[in-house]
Structure 1
Amino acid sequence: MRAADRRVVLGLHRSRHRRDILTGALDLGVTAIDTASNYLHHRSHRVLGEVAGDLLTEFVISTKVGYFKDGHSLAPTRLRKALDAALAELGCEPDTVLLHNPERSAPDSEVLSHACAVLAGAAEQGRCASWGISTWDPRPLVGLDTPCPDVLMVRSGLLVSSSVLDAAEALVAAWGPTQVRGMSPFGGSATDPVWQKIDPTMFLRSSDATPVQAAFRVAFALPGAEAVAVGSDDAEHLRELCGGLGHKIDTDVLQTYRQLLRQSV
């Protein structure tokens, strides 16, 4: 087993939650997983507890609450129940609990603050180590007041629009989270045809990275993120991603890209 590297987070959004994927991740030093109450048709927590309960203590676990079988809600009572259910089904306390896509309920500052207070309270009570916000589209959240989250999770990578990147950076500046995490670095799949049309290696200072490694490495810089969640049911794919973490970003190329991206809007 390699030494733990918390920069890579195994995302379970499209995962089949197989035990061999989790053990393969551990062998590669990937000791962080990210899930949500609604993943795997609202069965993610229960299935994880059943197939990998004895392994979960070896992972840093983040999960999200906010989606329910009848839709999205920021109602504090529902969020508390979702948190109770997560702890019971996982069989352990998650390290981080995130408010899942709060923009879906079009909150104002008061509604968002009340929802955040539920998760902040859980952290204060020791039911999780930290709390935060995960947002697919941060633009509606810009300008809203909320308790400063420990973690902010946003989309990252070359397929994220300029306005979404700018909004994510605005939230970082306004809320001052301790950690920023990226997600969906390939916009859904590393085998999407779009990755046959562009060459992400131009963003790196070295030329020996694969395009997949380059795209993943750039996701740590668009926007700036300490860790990136990526979904994979393929241990070799995960191995390739981990093998590209040492490559350096060409900041001049990245800055030029951001400028061109803004001009194209």
Structure 2
Amino acid sequence: MATAVEEGLCGAWGVSTWDPRALPGLVDAGLPRPAVLMVRAGLLVGIDVLDASETLTAQWGVAPEHVWGMSPFGGDVADPVWGQLDPRVFIEDADDVPSALQAAFRAAFLLPEVGRIAVGTDNPAHLQELISALRFEPDAGKLRTYQRLLRDRASSQAD
């Protein structure tokens, strides 16, 4: 793929992975670096996948603006979890956020840190709702605490 870019056959190439846990052990300095890395993102992603995504991003030296997140709702905005969880707690000025889905979408930009989020929808109103969520700021401190709690839980379950 790197040769294809050099020869002008394509503009860029990337790697997309649903589960990056095995990849950090395979990356070395001899491998070409992708222009884009796409990983799962969001509140429903396990800490092992989040940590592997961050490790892979660092190993390849991919800047956050070239890391894309996918599936910020765990695959289904109709999942009952979104009616039981209020992710607005992870947004600065949470009282201004009209919906839990907007908050979940915006928080996904820091779980792990990504520059873009890819979503699939055939509903223009849903897409507009997500676009309007970009004006809200995630609370980085609360999201770091959330990740620490996930790590603590994972390590206590491993014991």
Question: Structure 2 length normalisation: TM-score?
Answer: 0.89
1:243 paired to 2:128: no
1:182 paired to 2:64: no
Q: Is the 8 A contact 2:110 2:140 kept in 1?
A: no
Give, in whole Å, the separation in 2 of the partners of 1:251 and 1:138: 23
- Give the secondary-structure state (helix, strand or coil) at the position aligned to 1:133: strand
Q: How do 1:126-137 and structure 2 match up within 5 A?
A: 126-137=8-19
Superposition deviation, residue 148 in structure 1: 1.2
Structure 1 partner of 2:114: 225
Which amino acid in the other structure matches residue 170 of structure 1? T
Superposition deviation, residue 125 in structure 1: 2.1
Give, in whole Å, the separation in 2 of the partners of 1:172 and 1:264: 24
Structure 1 partner of 2:157: none
1:192 paired to 2:60: no
1:148 paired to 2:36: no
Give, in whole Å, the separation in 2 of the partners of 1:256 and 1:190: 24
Give, in whole Å, the separation in 1 of the partners of 2:5 and 2:108: 29
Q: How do 1:152-167 and structure 2 match up within 5 A?
A: 152-167=37-52
Higher gyration radius (CA)? 1
Give, in whole Å, the separation in 2 of the partners of 1:172 and 1:134: 12
- Looking at secondary structure, tell me which structure has more strand per residue: 1
Deviating 4+ runs (over 3 angstroms): none
Which amino acid in the other structure matches residue 38 of structure 2? M
Give, in whole Å, the separation in 2 of the partners of 1:236 and 1:154: 25
Superposition deviation, residue 215 in structure 1: 0.5
Q: How do 1:79-158 and structure 2 match up within 5 A?
A: 119-144=1-26, 145=28, 146-158=31-43
Query: RCO greater where, 1 or 2, for CA within 8 Å and sep 6 or more?
Result: 2
Superposition deviation, residue 208 in structure 1: 1.9
Which amino acid in the other structure matches residue 149 of structure 2? L
1:170 paired to 2:52: no
- Give the secondary-structure state (helix, strand or coil) at the position aligned to 2:96: coil
Structure 1 partner of 2:149: 260
Structure 2 partner of 1:104: none
Give, in whole Å, the separation in 2 of the partners of 1:208 and 1:189: 24
Superposition deviation, residue 127 in structure 1: 2.3
Q: Any unmatched runs of 5+ in structure 1? A: 1-118
Q: Any unmatched runs of 5+ in structure 2? A: 155-159
Q: Percent identity?
A: 53
Superposition deviation, residue 135 in structure 1: 0.7
Superposition deviation, residue 241 in structure 1: 0.3
1:121-140 CA distance string (max 9 Å, x none): 22222222111110110001
Question: Structure 1 length normalisation: TM-score?
Answer: 0.54
Give, in whole Å, the separation in 1 of the partners of 2:11 and 2:87: 36
